[in-house]
Amino acid sequence: MSRRIKRTQSKSDRPADRRKGERPKAEAARSAGAPAKREPSKRPDGERPRRDRFAGEREAAPRSEFGRGKGDRVRAPRAEREDRRDAFESRERPPAKRASAGKPVRFGAERAERKPVAAPPPKKPEPETPVLPTKVQTVVVTADENGMRVDRFLEARFPGLSFSHIQRIVRKGELRVNGKRADSKDRLEEGQSVRIPPLKLDAPRERAGLTEGERKTLESLKAMTLYEDDDVLVLNKPAGLAVQGGSGMTRHIDQMLEVMRDAKGQKPRLVHRIDRETSGCLLIAKTRFAATHLTGAFRSRSARKVYWALVAGVPKPKQGRISTYLAKEESEEDTIMRVAAHGDEGASHAVTYYAVVEASANKLAWVSLKPVTGRTHQLRAHMAHIGHPIVGDPKYFNIENWALPGGLQNRLHLLARRIVIPHPRGGVIDATAPLPPHMLQSWNLLGLEHDRFDPIENAPEE
């Protein structure tokens, strides 16, 4: 009976939210895709259905053409209203979001479909893989490559090109600069033409990780590290380990750096070299940017290097400057640097400052050396030139009937003690290497205090 009473309520008695919700519920049912149920216009007993009676009451109420009541408009027929509704809903709507609670599913679905989809961001162009030259080609040195060494130029142009391949094509004369043979150390100038022969790039190795041997090599490099950041690496090179390869040499620093190649195939670059039997600070650039700035610092003599050595006798005066010309002298057995006269073929000026730090019974002296120039074997040749060769030097120790004190090892007593150089990104790199085991043993036997003040600090820079 109560249900019957609810159905016979008048329009004014029914709750407003129910009157508003009846029509959307009917429309939601039609939009859900289910076949619309036709209600008979009359019941079997001939009476008008209650649903139609309530619909008739709603139609009798004056409403606007879009469903909101206004007293001065007459409701259009159902077919016309549906046509207008379809035309209205087909228009583009702004993507503004509205509360979806209580709204028909159809509206939410249609608005979701019309929501503008943002275009995918443009893909960044991937770096181009260097084209493998299959025939002879000629390239021009750009402004950015001005002053670059020939071997660095090839490494930059063709990442992955092996060091041995670069040395081979340069040695055979296949690479020419302005039509002339070039050395791997020659500096290029902007605008020069470089003839490049067909090259063979090393194929990048795809692997999940390092091999056992490579892992041990990487650990050895880490154990040598004195300083490291994103651009620079300073190693404490042990005596006996070469910096670069030579005839029959399979292990050297340049080869060990292969394990540090990055994703682009670039490996750290040597900035300078020290002799095989010399231990101590070795500066390495991890990026091309750093290599350019660090080599420039060496050329402009902004880098300051300090070496320690144990020499025969005590130099007099105890502080001095050695200035000579050095030239390479080759023989069947060996290659050494000799003191030459100004103007001799291949002669280069070399300057070294020295200072005696401490002496031992006037037979041996600990000297600190500061090279202004960077010639091959410069310190060893200069100390032999003034009559105080470095202990254990197999090439330049020329004192006859000189006996090595007991307990000292017959190995080169020369240490690249310290390097100070401007950092490519600002500031200063200042790295110091400890005495190697054989020199530390000699210092202890001779009673030399390795933490004493180093007088070479006050030597001039040029």
Residues with active-site annotation: 275
Instruction: Enter the tokens of residue 236.
Output: 């404490």
Give the separation between CA 12 and CA 404, rounded to whole angstroms: 123
The residue type at 39? E
Give the HSE-up count for residue 451: Cα atoms under 13 Å, Cβ half-sphere.
Answer: 0
- Which residue carries 């181009």 as its tokens? 128
SS3 state at 269: strand
DSSP helix, strand, coil percent of the chain (3-state; round to 5):
30, 20, 50
For residues 159 and 128, what is the distance between their CA atoms, to the nearest angstrom? 11
391 and 403 Cβ atoms separated by less than 8 Å: no
Phi, psi at 222, each rounded to 5°? -65, -35
CA–CA separation, 211 and 51 (whole Å): 83
Place of tokens 């280069």: 348
Which residues have a Cβ under 8 Å from the Cβ of 287 and sit 6 or more positions away? 230, 231, 266
User: How far is Cα 370 from Cα 275, in angstroms, rounded to an integer?
Assistant: 16
Q: Which amino acid is at 147?
A: G
The conformation of residue 203, written as its DSSP 8-state character, comes to P
For residue 422, which of 307, 306, 304 has the smallest C-alpha distance? 304
| Beta pairing partners, 418 | 306, 432
Pairing of strands 180-181, 176-177: antiparallel
